[in-house]
Structure 1
Amino acid sequence: MFVVTGIFFNSKKPLQTNLLHFPKPFRWIAPENHTADTKFLICCGGVMIAGEILILMVLSLIISTFMFRYGDFFNPIAVAVSALLPFLSVMLKMVLPEEKQLHQFVKVLTLCGLILLSAEVLVFNGKSLTTDSNTTILTVDDITFEESDQLKKQGDSLIIKGDCEMFLNTLPQNAKGFIFHMNQEINEDARIFHVWMDMEDDNFRYAYQIVADTYTLGNENSCMMSFSPYETLYSMKLHFAQIANPVTLTEIVAVPALPYEFSLLRYLILMTICAVVAIIIQCRLYEVAFDWRKPPHLAIVGMMVMLCTFSATQFYDVVKVEDLTEYEKDKNYSWADPYAQTFHALNNGRVALEIEVSPELEKLENPYDNSARRESNAPSAWDYAYYDGNYYSYFGIAPVLTYYAPYILMNGKLPTTGMANDFFATLSIFFMCMALLSAVRLMTTKPNFLLLLASLPAITACTGAYYCMEFSDKYFVAVASAQCYIALTLWLGLWGIAVKKKLWKCLLFAGSGLALALTVASRPSVAISAAVLLPFFFGILFRKSETIASRMTQAFSFAVPLVAGLGGVMAYNAMRFGSPLDFGATYQLTVSNVNANHLRLSLLPASFFHYFLQIPQMRSSFPYFETNCDHLRNYGAYVYMEGVFSALMNPFAMAGFLLMPTAYKRTLAGFRQGVTNRQRSVALALCFIVPIITAWMDFCMGGLNLRYICDITPLLFIGCVIVLLRTTDVKKKMYRYILTVILCLLSAFLIWVMLAGLRDCMLLRRNPSYYDTMRDLLIFWH
C-alpha cells in the first residue's frame, strides 16, 4: 500500500526524499536531492516493515518465553494502527512538506503507538511473567462442598443459587491463580456477584486468610483471581455470595500466573488520550480563550453539552409502553408511587390520597411517634404524610404537574419512577451545563477554552443527576425535579441579565421566575440557591441609566410568574394541611418523629463536615471506595444518617473551594450590560455561602443523605468552576492549569468508577458487563 500510494503521488508531483532526514545508517536509502522512485519506496517500505517485524518478534518472544499465555499474542487492530503510523509519517512528510505541525503530530503518535504496544505487553500484563506454563484443570470432583438448596451438583457442573462455600484441598504447588469457568444467564435480573478466596499455606497452616476478593458477572473467563502462597499451598476456600441468577460452575483452572491478555480497549483509549494531548500541545490549544462570538467555539461547546446530556442514557430505565399499567380513573392505585397517587387524587377532585387509614392509627395520641406505632402494631403507610385522618404525599407537586399528568393524559398509562427520574435528570444535565455557561459569561473574562470544556463533564457527573437515575426511587424524583428547575432558573436568569434586548430580558426573566416556582414545588430547600441572582437583580432595580418603567417591567416579568406559581403551591398546601406554608414534612410517618428536628446552630460544624469534608469509605474490592457515613455520636439528639459522597471530595470542587480567596484578587473587565465587579463578587460569595446554609438546614431538619447533598451541589459547583476559571493563568502558572484540567476530568472519572460498584442500581442493570470491563481496564496488576 505504501509503495502504491507513493507511486500515485509521485506521478502527480515529484516527491523529494531529502526532507525525510534519515539517521546516518539509513541514508543510503535516500541520497540528498533524490526524487522518490519505485526503488526508493520499496527500500523505505522494506526497512520500516523489517523494523516493525523485529519489534513484534521481540515482544512475541518475551510473551512466549517469559509469560503465561491463554490466547493470542496481539490484537490485529492494535498492530495495524501501530504499523500504519510510521508509513503515514513518511508519506505525509513527502506529500505535504510544509505541514510541519502535522508531521510532528504523526511522529509523536507513531512513538506513542510503539510505546503503548510495548507497555501493554511489559507493564499491563506484568502479572503474567513466569517461565512455568503448566496448568491443572480442577473439575467438580476435585471440589469439596456440602450440597444444599444454594449449591447443587448437576452432571459435571455445580449450580450456585445462593450464598455458599467450597474447598479445594488437592492443589498443584505451582498454582498462583485461578480461572473460573462459569456462566450466569444474562437477562434483566442478572447482577454481579461476590467471590472471595481464603488460603492455607505454611504461613498460616491452620487458619484461613483472605487473599483475593472481587465481584463478577460470571461470564466465561471473566473471573480470574491471583494469590501468592508461602512455600506449601495446602487448601483454598471459595466463597460465593449475592447471587441473583443461578451460576453454573464447570471447572476451575489452576495456573502459574494470570494469563496474558492484550486489551484493545485500553490500547485505543490510551492512544486517543495521547492523540488529544498531542493536538493540544502542537496547536497550543491550551492558550485559547473561549469567545462567545466565534461559531466554532459555540459548536464545540454545544457538542460537549450534548455529549454530557446523552451520557444519561446509560442509566435509563427502559420500559416498553405495553408493559406499563393502564390508567383508569375509577380504579384504586394505593400501590403506586406517591406522584401517581397524587395525580389520581387530583383527577378525582381530591387532595387526599386514596389510601385506607387503619383504625389503630387513628386512635393513637401521637401517630408520628414510631415507637408508639410499633407498640400498638398500628398499620401505617410508610413515609407518607398523615394529617387529620388522611394520607398525603409530602413530596413536591411539580413532578406531578410537569411529567406525570402530561404522560398519563397522553398515553393513558402510569409511568414508573425510573422514567420520571430519567426525564428530570436528563433535563437537569442540559440545564446545568447551560447555567454554568451563562454564569461563566457573566462572571469571568476570557475563560480558558479547554478548562471550560473539562468542567462540563465534571459538573455533569458530580452534581447529582447520575445519582438520581442510578438509585431511581420515589425519593430521587423530587431531587431530580428540583435540580432540573433550579438549573433552569439559574440559566434563564443569568442569561436574561446578559442579553441586551428588553423583550428577551423580560421573556427570560419570566421563564426564570416560573422555574423557581416549580423548584419550590419540587423541593423548597433547593430554591434558596436562586439567591445568587439577587446581586444582579438589585443592580437592575437601582440602575439609574434605565427608566423606572423599564426596571419595573423587568422586575414584574420575574415576579409575576413566581408569585403566581407560589400562590398555587400555597393554595394547595392550605387545602391539605390548613396552612399555605406547610408542605407536610412534619407529618411524615417515618423512622423518627420529624417534629423533634429543629434548627440548632451547634450543628453547623457537623453539617459542614458531613456535607463537605466526609471522606469516602474504603471497600475490599474494586472500585475500592464507596459512599460513607461517619457518625460523630455527639449531636445531642437523634440524627438520621446514610452514606454520602460529600461535595468537596470531588477533586475539582476542593480545588475551587481552596482557591476562592485567590479569585477575589483578580480584577475583571467591566460587563457592558451594567454588571459591576461588586455584583460579581457578591454573587460568587453566595455560591459558597448559600450551600453552607442549606447544608446546615438540611442536616438539622433531615439529617444526612445523598439526596440532601444534591441540594447544595448545583450552586456550589458553579461557584467552584468560576473560581477555577478566574484563577488559572496559563502564562504565569502552567502547573496550576494542568492540575486543574486533570482534576476536572478526574472528578468525572471517579464518579463513573464509584457507580460501577453499585450492583443493584441502574447503571449495572442497564450495562451488566460494565463492572467487569472497568475492573479489567484499570486493575491490571492482579
Structure 2
Amino acid sequence: MSKTAHTSQPPRSNTPALRRQHRRTAVLWLVALLVIAGLEVGVFNLGHWRTTHVPAVTMGSPVFGGGITIPSPGDADDTADDGAADTAADAASTTFTITDPDTATIDIPVRDAATGGATEIASIRLSPAASIPVSQAASHANDTASWTSATASFYTADTDTALDSEAQADAEEEADATRNTDDLTWRSLSDGVWSDPDNTLTYTSIPETQYTLAGQKSDENRYSTWLRISFENEYAGSTVSLASYEVNPTIPFSISFSRIAVMLVIAAFVICFRPGSVLWRRRLDITTRGHKAATGAAIAITAVVMLLVTQATGGMFKVQGVSYGWGFDHWFDPLQYQRLGEALLNGHLWLDLPIDNTLQSMSNPYNYAARQSLNEATGAVYFWDHAYFQGHYYSYFGVVPAVLLFAPFEALTGRWLPNWAASWVLGVAFAAFAIPMTMRFIQRFFPRVSQALAWLCALTMLVANSAWYYLFTPSFYGIPVLASMAATAAGLYFWIGARRDATTGAWAGCTPGATRVSAWRVVLGCVLMALNFGCRPQFLVFVLFAFPIFWDEIRHSHQIFSRASWRLSCAIVLAFLAVIVPLLAYNAARFGSPLDVGSNYNLTAFDMTSQRPSRALMPIALLMQLLQPAAFGGSFPFIETVDNALPLPCEPSLGGFLALVPFALVALFFWMERRRLKERHVWALTAICVAGAAAVLLLDTMTAGVNNRYYGDFGMLLAFAAIAVACCLEESLRLPVAQESIHDASAAEGAESAEDAEASADDAAATATAADPRLLPAFRTGYAPARLAAFAAAAAVLFSLIMVFGGMFATGRYDALPSTNPFLFSYVKSWFLGLTM
C-alpha cells in the first residue's frame, strides 16, 4: 500500500465558534430583514397610512391667474366641475406657459363633500400629461426636448369656516360670480406647521413624485375653502405640464425595490463590520482565492457605482457647450481638455478660442473688475478659468490627460471624448489600483491585521479624496486630479509589489530576507509617479514614499542606488527624466519657464498674478478646510451645505475634510504611536504623509481658498497616515501569539457564570491561532476597548459613505440634483413624504 502525502489542512478546533458565529449572523440577518420590512411598510409608506381616512373634497371651477398662458383660452370655462363629489379635476390644458411667475396661479374652490363647509386639506396630487415608471426616468432625465419637472407652491384661504348645508349653494354661487381671488387672504399651506415650513412640490412624470402632504396645522389654519397652486418658483417663458389635480387623494401604498436595496446594503455593512463579526478575527491574506475574488467584486461594484454617479447629473445625455455665465459676466467653456487635445493634434499648444481685442489693449487683463466693466459696456468676450498669455488662451490644467485620453480618442474616432467618460475611466483606474494597493500596503507592513479593518481602510482610501465630487460633477476641473489619483495608486501598487521572493518570484510581502527587486515594477512605478507633474503636481509628494518602501533595498541589500545596481538606478533616473523633461519643455514653450504651469494667468474672479488671501485668514480657513462640522436638516435631503462666509474664494461645501472622513482623525495620533510605527518601518512614511498633507493643504488654501474640490490633494496622504496608525492600534489590542494559550486557559478557569463560560469557550475556540494561521490572536483581557474601537472604525467609514452619497442630494452644492436631475431627486424625496409634520 503506497503512502499518500499528507496535506496540511486547517485545524477544526475553531468549528464550534464558527458555527456560533454563523448562527448569530443568521439571527442578525433575520432581525435586519424584519426591521427593513417594518421600515418599508411603516415609515416609508407613512404617507399612505396618513391619507387613508382623509375627508372627501368637492372642487369648483379653477380660476387662472394672469401669469399663465393657456393655449386654448376657452378651455377654462369648459372644465367646470360637473360632478360635485369628484376629488380630482382636469386642468384647462395639459400644457401652460409661464409669462409672469408672480401671477402664475390656479385657484380652486374646495368644500367638504359631507358638510359642504370648509375642508381640511391633507394631501394634494399634481399630474402632468403622461406618467412614466421609475425604470424609464433615466432616459427622460435630460431630455431637453420635453417637459421634465415643475415646482409648485400651495396656499389656502378660508372665506367661510362654518357654512351650513343651506348656505352652501349661495356660497358657491357667490364664489363663481366674483372670481376675484386676489382679494382673499392667502396663507402658506404649511402655516401652523411647527418644523416643516416647506410648501412646495417638484413633480415629474413619475407618479411617486406627484404627491405632497399638508402636514398637521393649528386650528385656525386647518380648514380652507380655496386652494391656490402657484408656479412662483418657475421662470418666465418656462413650460408647465399639468393635466389634472387632486385634493385629498389617498397616497398609494408602494414597495420600492431600490429603497429595499439601499437598506440591504446598509444592513450588510453593519452585519459584516459589527464588532463581533468573524471578519475581525480573520487575518488578512491577499494571496487566497477568496480575497482575490472579493477584491475583483469590489472593483467591479465600484466601477458600476461610479458610472451611475456620472450619469446622475446628466452624463451621456448632457449636451455641453460654451455658455454665458451671468453671475460673473464671462463665457464658460467646459471643453478645455477637448480643445487641448485637438490643439496637440493640430501641432500647437494654445486653444482655438477667439481672443477679444480688449484683452490685448488692457494694461492688466487679469483685473477682474476691469474685464467685467468692459463686458457690460461693449459685450467683450472673455473665457472663464482659462490662462491668457501673450495673445493666446491656454489650459493651465495638466496636459497628461489630453495626451493619454483626449487626443488619442479624437484621432481614432474623430469625436471629442466627453468629460464624464474621461472622469469615469480615471475613477475606475483609481479604484482598480487603490483597493489592491491598500491591501498590499497593510499586509506588507502589518501582517497581523484583520480582514475587517483592511476593508475599512480600503473604503477609506476610496472616500478620503475628491473623486466622488468630480464623478458627480464631471468637468475639466476634476480630470487632472483623478488622473493623478489613478497614477499615484498604480505607482504605489507596483512599488509595494516590487519585492519578490528570490526563488519563486512571488510577492515577498514583509519578508526582507532572500528577496530581489522586480526592476520593471520599480521603473513602471517611477513613470506613473512622474506623470503627476503633468496632472496635479501636488501629488509629487508621494514620490517620497519610495524611500520608506525601498529602504531595506537601498540601505541593507543594496539592490537600488549602489554600484552593484547601477543599471536599475539609471533606469529609475531615466524613467523620471523621460516624463519630466517633455513636461518642462511644454511649460517653457507656453510661458517661458519650465516650472510655470500658467495658473497665475487664469482669468478668474481676482488677479492671481498679484492677489493672495490675507495671511490673517489662513488659520480660520485651514480650520474650515479640516474641521468645519457637517450641517444637517430635519427634512430631505437631511444633509446641507455649510456656510463658508470668508473674504476669500469659497465654494459650496459639505464640511471640513476630517468632519466628512472621521476615520482620518486617527492620523492625529501618529506621534503617540511612533514607537509601533517605527517597529513596523512606517514611521518615516507616516511622517511624510502628515507633513506633506499640511504643506499641500496650506498651499491650496493660500492659492484657492476653501474648496471641497481640493480635498483630494491631501486626502490620500491623511488616509495613508490614518491607515498606518489604525493598524498599529489594532495590533496593540491583540495578545502576542505566545500568550494566547495562557489567556485561553485563564479565561476558561475564571468563568464563574454560564454566560462567562460560554464567552470563554468562544474565546478559547476562536483564538487557536497557533494551530490555525487564518485566525488572529485574541484581544487582550477585556473586550470593551477592542469592541469600542471596532465600532468606532466601522461607524466612521459608514458615516463617510453616507456623506458621499447622501451629500449628492444636498441642494446648495454645484450641479445640485433638483436642477440637473429632478427625476432622481424628487423620487428619492418621495421616500420620506410621510415624515412631513
| TM-score, with structure 1 as normaliser | 0.74
2:573 aligns with 559
Query: 2:157 and 2:654 mapped to 1: Cα distance?
Result: 37
Taking the aligned partners of 2:563 and 2:814, their CA distance within structure 1 comes to 57
**Does 2:121 correspond to 1:175?**
yes
**Counterpart mapping for 1:572-591 below 5 A:** 572-591=586-605
Instruction: Rate the CA distance shift 1:564–1:606 in 2: closer, same or farther, 3 A.
Output: farther
Work out whether residues 383 and 589 of structure 1, in 8 Å CA contact, stay in contact via their aligned partners in 2. Answer: yes
Contact 2:662 2:796 in 1 (8 A): no
Residue aligning to 2:357: 359
Describe the shift of the 1:263–1:187 C-alpha distance in structure 2 as closer, same or farther (beyond 3 A).
closer
Q: Which residue of 2 aligns with 1:254?
A: 247
Task: Mark the CA change 1:410 to 1:546 in structure 2 (over 3 Å): closer, same or farther.
Answer: closer
Letter in 1 for 2:642: N
Q: CA deviation at 1:680?
A: 0.5
Distance 2:272 2:633 in 1: 38
| Partner residue, 1:487 | 489
2:465 to 460, 463, 466: 463
Matched with 2:828 is 774
Match of 2:519 in 1: 506
Q: Which of 620, 645, 650 in structure 2 is aligned with 1:606?
A: 620
Task: Give the deviation of 1:537 after TM superposition.
Answer: 4.6
* 8 Å Cα contact 1:116-1:267 kept in structure 2: yes
Mapped partners of 2:828, 2:109: distance in 1: 32
- SS class of match (1:445): coil
Equivalent in the alignment of 1:75? none
Looking at structure 2, the residues matched to 421 and 131 of structure 1 have their Cα atoms a distance apart, in angstroms, of: 45
Matches of 2:381 and 2:27, distance apart in 1: 73
Structural RMSD (CA):
4.2
Equivalents in 1 of 2:458, 2:722: separation in Å? 12
Written as runs of structure 1 = structure 2, the 5 A alignment for 1:126-137 is 126=46, 128-129=48-49, 133-136=53-56
Shift of 1:579: 0.9
Alignment match of 1:541 (pick from 550, 554, 562): 554
Aligned amino acid, residue 781 of structure 1: L
CA distance in 2 between counterparts of 1:719 and 1:469 reads 25
1:565 match: secondary structure: helix
Is structure 2 residue 151 aligned with structure 1 residue 188? no
Residue 582 (structure 1) shift: 0.9
Is residue 146 of structure 2 the alignment partner of residue 146 of structure 1?
Answer: no
Partner Cα distance (1:103, 1:435) in 2: 34
Range 308-317 or range 619-628, more displaced: 619-628
Shift, 1:631, TM fit:
2.0
Q: How far is 1:340 from its partner?
A: 2.7
Q: Residues 182 and 370 (structure 1 numbering): CA distance in 2 closer, same or farther, change over 3 Å?
A: same
Change (3 A) 1:742 1:584: same
CA 1:168–1:274: 2 relative to 1, 3 Å: same
Cα distance in structure 1, aligned partners of 2:580 and 2:546? 18
Aligned to 1:403: 405
The letter for the 1-side match of 2:523 is: A
Aligned match for 1:516, one of 522, 529, 533: 529
Which structure 2 segments of 5+ residues have no match?
1-17, 80-89, 113-118, 132-139, 162-183, 192-196, 322-331, 501-506, 509-513, 734-778
Secondary structure at the counterpart of residue 178 of structure 1: strand
Matches of 1:715 and 1:463, distance apart in 2: 9
Amino acid across the alignment from 1:170: V
Which residue of 2 is the match for residue 41 of structure 1? Answer: none
1:120-176 superposed Cα distances (whole Å, 9 cap, x missing partner)? 445544555569624546768346543425999867335355554444553543332
- 1:239 deviates by 4.3
Q: Please state if 1:642 is matched with 2:651.
A: yes
Structure 2 vs 1, CA of residues 720 and 145 (structure 1 numbering), >3 Å: closer, same or farther?
farther
Q: Distance in 2 between matches of 1:379 and 1:701?
A: 26
| 2:707 maps to amino acid | N
Q: Counterpart of 2:745?
A: none
SS at match of 2:120: coil
Q: Helix, strand or coil for the counterpart of 1:367?
A: coil
Query: Are residues 1:286 and 2:280 paired?
Result: yes
In the other structure, the counterpart of 1:12 is none
Q: Cα distance, 1:469 vs. partner?
A: 2.3
In structure 2, how many angstroms separate the alpha carbons of the residues matched to 1:298 and 1:703? 42
Q: Which residue of 1 aligns with 2:443?
A: 441
Q: Shift of residue 397 of structure 1?
A: 0.7
- Residue 711 of structure 1 deviates from its aligned partner by 1.8
Q: Which moved more, 1:252-261 or 1:756-765?
A: 756-765
Report the counterpart of residue 432 of structure 1 in structure 2: 434
The alignment status of 1:342 with 2:282, answered yes or no, reads: no
Kindly state the Cα deviation for residue 553 of structure 1 after the two structures are TM-superposed.
4.8
Partner of 1:222: 209
Partners of 2:58 and 2:110 within 8 A in 1: no
CA distance in structure 2 between the partners assigned to 1:370 and 1:274 by the alignment:
52
1:403: Cα distance to partner? 0.3
Does the 8 A contact of 2:360 with 2:391 survive in 1? yes
Residue identity matched to 1:630? N
Alignment correspondent of 1:40: none
Write out per-residue CA displacement over residues 393-432 of structure 1, whole angstroms, 9 at most, x where no aligned residue.
Answer: 2121111111012111222222222322222222223233
Amino acid at match of 2:528: A
Q: What does 1:602-751 align with in structure 2 at a 5 Å threshold?
A: 602-617=616-631, 622-633=636-647, 639-651=648-660, 653-658=661-666, 660-661=668-669, 664-665=672-673, 668=676, 677=679, 679-728=681-730, 729=733, 731=783, 732-751=785-804
Q: CA deviation at 1:567?
A: 0.8
Q: Are the counterparts in 1 of residues 59 and 109 from structure 2 also a CA contact under 8 Å?
A: no
Give the Cα–Cα distance (whole angstroms) in 1 for the partners of residues 584 and 565 of structure 2.
28
TM-score by length of 2: 0.69
State the identity as a percent: 17
Distance 1:536 1:188, change over 3 A: same
Q: Deviations for 1:695-716, whole angstroms, at most 9, x for unmatched residues?
A: 2111212223332223222222
Question: Structure 1: which amino acid aligns with 2:428?
Answer: T
> More displaced, 164-173 or 446-455?
164-173
SS of 2:535's partner is coil
Q: Residues 312, 278 of structure 1: CA spacing in aligned structure 2 closer, same or farther, 3 A cutoff?
A: closer
Unaligned runs of 5+ in 1: 1-97, 326-333, 634-638, 670-675
- Cα deviation, residue 302, structure 1: 2.9
1:525 is the counterpart of 2:538: yes
SS of equivalent to 2:518:
helix
Q: Which residue of 2 aligns with 1:35?
A: none
- Once residues 486 and 666 of structure 2 are traced to their aligned partners in structure 1, the CA distance between those partners, rounded to angstroms, is 28
**Aligned counterparts of 2:631 and 2:699: Cα–Cα separation in 1:** 25
Highest RCO, 1 vs 2 (Cα 8 Å, sep ≥ 6): 2
Which string of whole-angstrom CA distances, capped at 9 and with x for unpartnered residues, describes residues 646-671 of structure 1? 453555x32431464178438659xx
Q: CA deviation at 1:366?
A: 1.5
Matches of 2:216 and 2:398, distance apart in 1: 56
Quick one: which amino acid aligns to residue 302 of structure 1? G
Residue 212 (str. 1) matches residue 199 (str. 2): yes
Aligned-partner Cα distance in 1 for 2:525–2:479: 21
Over 3 Å counting, the alpha-carbon distance change for 1:134 and 1:312 in structure 2 is closer
Give the direction of change, closer, same or farther, for the CA distance of 1:703–1:298 in structure 2 (3 Å limit): same
Contact 2:295 2:435 in 1 (8 A): no
